[in-house]
Amino acid sequence: MLCMLPLVAAEEAQTQPQQNHPFFRTDAQPRWSQMTPQQLLADVDAACEQAKARFAALAAVTPENATFRNTFLAYYEAEENLQQAQTYLYHLLHTVGGEQWLKAQEAVIAKTAEYESARPHAERVWQVLQAAASAPWVSSLSEAEQYFIARTMTRLRASGTGLPPDKQARKSAIDSEIKQLSMQYVANLANANGVWQLVITEPEQLAGMPEDWMNTARQAALEAGFGSEDKPAWLINLSNSPARPVLTHCTVEKTRKQCWYGANSIGTAYALDNEPIILRILELRQELAELLGYASFADMQAAQLMMGSGENALAFVDELLEKSRPAYEAWVATELERLSVGAGRKLTSVNPWDEAFFSAKNPAAGGGFDAGKITPYLQAEKVLRGMFDIWEHMYSLRIAEVPAVCLKPGEQCPQGAREVWHPAVRVFAVYDAADGTHLGDCCLDLYPRPGKRDMGWCMPLRFGGEGEAHLAAIVANLTPPPGPGKPHLYSHGDLYVLFHEFGHMMHMLLGHSALRGQSAMDAERDFVEMPSQLQENWIWQPEALATFAFHHETGEPLPKELAEQLAASRFAGPITFHMSMLCAAKLDLEMHHHYREKFHGRSLDAASAQLLAPWQFPYSVPTPCEMRNFIYCMTEGYSASFYTYKWSEVLAADAFSRFEREGILNAATGAAYRKAILNPAASRPMSDSFRAFMGRNPSPAALLKQYGL
Ligand SMILES: [Zn+2]
């Protein structure tokens, strides 16, 4: 991340690495102009050496001289600079980009892998921590410190620390087999694009397809050696002339059917079948969980989350599914009726290749509000200031822009200014309005540019310890300024990104714990999206829009009717997306909690279809299990925890219900939220923080009400 000067700088900076370690967390203000790939590698080496020395000191602690400071805190701090360097690298890689940072990343991965494979004194460190965790002095520590110890121990156990050597070896073997299988799974999905294709030589088979699409498909065929200028052919595959539009537009059922099977061949057909890979991964995850003392992989994942157990998570998803069922069944009935009109006969089931086609022909589909109507009222600068005004008022803050400079190596940062990684970055300092304390700096890198990653996120760059300010960045790709003389307007989607990411930002900057390992980002993973999703609510509220939405030409406020139509459109769409998220969550949990009972030795498609039968649209043919093509749960961090999306939505909707009751601009409610949820960050379980704000445990009632269930 960091800013660093653009690419030229690296060449100019071929000086010796600095001895002051700009990639460490030592300075409150990062010195981006000193952060070069060369410097990074030197600092990573230094951080690994430092960690080794710190672990050696930790290993020498005896029960007689053990304290919280020289055991658990020392453990946390041992690799802190290594992690800080990786944070800065990640940031630079995704905001500055370019070959030099990719190469630096490769080198860092190699260096850290080497360091980790020989992490010194691991066994002795575990003994020291285990003894310290049950020492009598623990009971006299603060609640936050005791919580810190408990979470560290849970994390260590779940990672296999302290296992006897034979089990340790088996765990390594499982980890590496899962890694191999995951790579194969991803490769199968990537390669599927090149495996399935359909060549059409009679244009009447493509009746109804738009002209642009036809031209692209004809060109693709020519390039692949099919047809000629005189005797054209049309190529359909899953990449450049995709099969999906055929399902919507083509009037020929046979072609739609071929394309539906083609599109569903991803992760299913040919040599790219993901079924055996998925079943083997599930088997291995179950074995891993048992090795570590858990009944299931879902239990193992949930142990570090608010949910606590796989059973609790399943009960949560089942309850939402059950409560959504009547509305879902009503929707299916209406949908069948509508599709019957398109088909010209009464349908009790639908061919999956006909659904999109009949839906598109039916004028009753869609009818949503065009959010583009409010764009003229969203002037970029007014929106930003208006959003800051809301948070200033609600959380009792003062937010002020400070000068930002992008320096060349060797240049001095002017007094009062902040160094940034790119000239486009702006910095806003956030102060407590009551006593003027500088809580942190918020960096905004909001618009696209070459080399920058095409996504939006909020990331902590440096956590302040006791009495120090935090630093975090929002990196996004909002509608960029259009050039001189034209108004810079945001879309409603831009507003969504800003408010969502500012929810994270407020959590990061306002969190206040004496321990750096208890920052907002250390909160249970099924909680971290709650503050961001909560804050999204404001972009739908006429009362909030009235504070910053003014027409760029006339200066008139957003008309009341438009604001109300916008608010009404929020949950007006079909229930399908909500249901598909719940079904994926259910499948993910069942696979990882009841693997032996429900999946072992069975066909993946049949087992999944049986589980989800009550909530599946009545198709005329079986559809493949979606986990065949679902990286989230099979290879990335959401295995056994895909439900967390819905869970944080429940928490956010529930917490918002208090704001709705007491006023979305009610500063007293904002203060209560800041005190109960933002300030404590991860210094206590998030369920305690939630109860402190709501006075009770979370309830899905508010979410169900939003969806009209
Ligand atoms: Zn988020």
Distance 39 CA to ligand 1 centre (A): 31
Residues 152, 202 within the same domain: no
* CA–CA distance, 280 with 246 (Å, rounded to integer): 35
Distance 630 CA to ligand 1 centre (A): 20
User: pLDDT below 50 — which residues of the chain?
Assistant: 1-14, 363-367
Q: Across-strand partners of 398? A: 431
Residue 27 within a domain: yes
Strands 457-462 and 418-419: unpaired
Distance 396 CA to ligand 1 centre (A): 23
Domain boundary among 223, 244, 264: 264
Distance 615 CA to ligand 1 centre (A): 28
Distance 294 CA to ligand 1 centre (A): 29
Tokens of 104: 């630096």
Q: Domain of 117: which CATH number?
A: 1.20.1050.40
Cα–Cα distance list, 570 to 214, 242, 371 (Å):
35, 30, 10
Q: Which residue type, as a one-letter code, is found at position 658? A: R
CA 275 vs. chain centroid, Å, equals 26
Residues 150, 219 within the same domain: no
Distance 477 CA to ligand 1 centre (A): 15
* CA–CA distance, 213 with 246 (Å, rounded to integer): 9
Distance 526 CA to ligand 1 centre (A): 11
Distance 500 CA to ligand 1 centre (A): 6
Residue 702 within a domain: no
Residues 102, 232 within the same domain: no
DSSP labels, 404-473: EE-PPTTPPPPTT-EE-SSTT-EEEEEEETTT--EEEEEEEE-S--TTS-SS-EEEEEE---TT--EEEE
Distance 551 CA to ligand 1 centre (A): 29
Residues 507, 456 within the same domain: yes
In the prediction, which pLDDT does 17 show? 66
Q: Domain of 396: which CATH number?
A: 1.10.1370.40
Distance 140 CA to ligand 1 centre (A): 37
- Count of CA atoms in the C-beta half-sphere (13 A) of 160: 17
Residues 202, 156 within the same domain: no
Residue corresponding to tokens 């020519």: 222
Q: Looking at residue 27, what DSSP letter applies?
A: S
Residue 150 within a domain: yes
In the prediction, which pLDDT does 282 show? 96
In the prediction, which pLDDT does 195 show? 75
DSSP labels, 635-667: TSTTTTTTTHHHHHHHHHHHHHHHHHHH-TT-H
Distance 508 CA to ligand 1 centre (A): 12
Q: Looking at residue 675, what DSSP letter applies?
A: I
Residues 132, 204 within the same domain: no
Distance 46 CA to ligand 1 centre (A): 33
Distance 258 CA to ligand 1 centre (A): 38
Residues 204, 143 within the same domain: no
Residue 227 within a domain: yes
Residue 37 within a domain: yes
Distance 459 CA to ligand 1 centre (A): 10
Residue 241: which domain range?
197-264
Residue 333 within a domain: no
Distance 695 CA to ligand 1 centre (A): 25
Q: Measured at the alpha carbon of residue 703, what is the angle toward residues 698 and 705, in degrees to the nearest 5?
A: 120
661-707: per-residue pLDDT in tens?
999 999 999 999 999 999 999 999 999 999 999 999 999 999 999 88
Distance 700 CA to ligand 1 centre (A): 20
Residues 377, 236 within the same domain: no
Residue 177 within a domain: no
Tokens of 472: 């975090």
Domain boundary among 508, 538, 556: 556
Distance 534 CA to ligand 1 centre (A): 10
Residue 159 within a domain: yes
* CA–CA distance, 197 with 236 (Å, rounded to integer): 6
Closest residue by Cα to residue 265 from 196, 184, 182: 196
Burial degree of 93 (CB within 10 A; 0-12, 13-18, 19+): buried
Residues 17, 95 within the same domain: yes
Helix (DSSP H) and strand (DSSP E) numbers for the chain: 28, 9
SS3 165: helix
Distance 594 CA to ligand 1 centre (A): 30
Distance 97 CA to ligand 1 centre (A): 22
Residues 469, 420 within the same domain: yes
Neighbours of 709 (CB within 10 A): 18
* CA–CA distance, 242 with 489 (Å, rounded to integer): 33
In the prediction, which pLDDT does 339 show? 81
Q: How many domains does the chain have?
A: 3
In the prediction, which pLDDT does 239 show? 74
Length of the chain: 709
Domain boundary among 215, 235, 264: 264
Residues 104, 214 within the same domain: no
* CA–CA distance, 677 with 663 (Å, rounded to integer): 18
Distance 504 CA to ligand 1 centre (A): 7
Residues 85, 205 within the same domain: no
Distance 502 CA to ligand 1 centre (A): 9
Distance 528 CA to ligand 1 centre (A): 7
Closest residue by Cα to residue 640 from 578, 590, 601, 602: 590
